Amino acid sequence: MIKKMKEIIFLKNLYKKFLDFEKKNYLKDIKNFLGVKELKLSQKEFSLVYDNYQKSSFLSFLKRTKDLVFSKDVFDFILKNITEDWDFYKHLYFLKKENLIGFKRERLFLKKPEVFSLIPRPKSEEEIIRIIEKRTKKKIKKKEKVSDFFFSFKVKGQWDQMPISQESAVFVVKKILDYLPLNKKFLFIGDDDFISLFLSLVDPSIESMVVDIDEDLLEKIKNFSEKFNLKIETRKVNLLKTKNLGESFVGFLINPVYTLEGVQKFMSFGLFNFSLDGGYVFLELGDEAIGNRFLFFQDFFTKKNLILRELILEKVYYPQISLHKEDKIIERRMKKLFSQKTLEKKPKLGAGLFVFEYLPFPLKKIKIKKKFYSYL
């Protein structure tokens, strides 16, 4: 624990150094950019632009560092962050200047691997499946419900429990590992998809907490965790009565009720348990009964200081299941067109995976008279 704290302190000091380095270089370089010199702004005004529009949070800095040091090709940094070579070079040069990385025939290598030991490594879906199957000695059946992989679990309709497919769960784990910037606690707000178990099996160093109202679900997660020695804490929580968990997290995953109110409640709960370091939010959301109310979500996300970094479609879905009265009605209608055998292999409901970056500081819109091609 003391060693981990020392490593986190080192990374935070590295972040402070980077902000100082980045700001100095920004103020020096920005005047060379298209349409900026003509604005005739003062250093104070340029400084204000940097502080509001360019400065990253601690966890965002670590995520970008991760995109450099753990990519097969360092230039992937540009694609992963939809940025340009200026940002890429700046981050690369800083890590090299700090003697943390080096180059051998244009390939990056780590001079001090221990510095990056708290940053979880990304993994491909194939790697994730291979690790899970090896540790559990069970075969993943991609199209089947994720709950079927672990144990017998009775889905409870009153809490709108509905497990995603096993291949969907694998994909969600991949995206969490793509973004997770620090091996500090990760929060699962409800986990009837049992993603916490897959994630911890794949990377046992990751600590997480699962909060849910279903004691049976929590008990099953706890028992499985103890069996495989996973770092998962479980806690019974009613989101309508609890707000503060008493600790902070680097990210959270929610697969809430697919209603405006449900998403806002789950999201607000998670954001309340972030710190000033920032964080990453993973939201599974399907258009079950939302429609054009997605516009209200966009407004909500903006007010909560959330930047949408990625929206992935066609990767998360629910196998056929009959929970409520309406499920039985649509099932009867579908069987007039398709066989039972066909329906069992097809999705019942699709969801998007939204990935947000949380900005832990407020933004001030700066009024500058400029033409639209001024890159400031």
What mean pLDDT do residues 249-262 have?
Answer: 93
CA angle 240, 253, 71 (to 5 degrees): 160
The pTM for the full model equals 0.94
Domains of the chain, first to last: 2-116 (no CATH), 125-358 (3.40.50.150)
* pLDDT digit string, tens, across residues 68-124: 999 989 999 999 999 999 999 999 999 999 999 999 888 999 999 999 999 999 999
**Residue among 174, 159, 164 at smallest CA distance from 351:** 164
Count how many Cα atoms sit within 13 Å of the Cα of residue 345 in the half-sphere of its side chain. 4
* pLDDT digit string, tens, across residues 174-201: 999 999 999 999 999 999 899 999 999 9
* pLDDT digit string, tens, across residues 256-283: 988 899 999 999 999 999 999 999 999 9
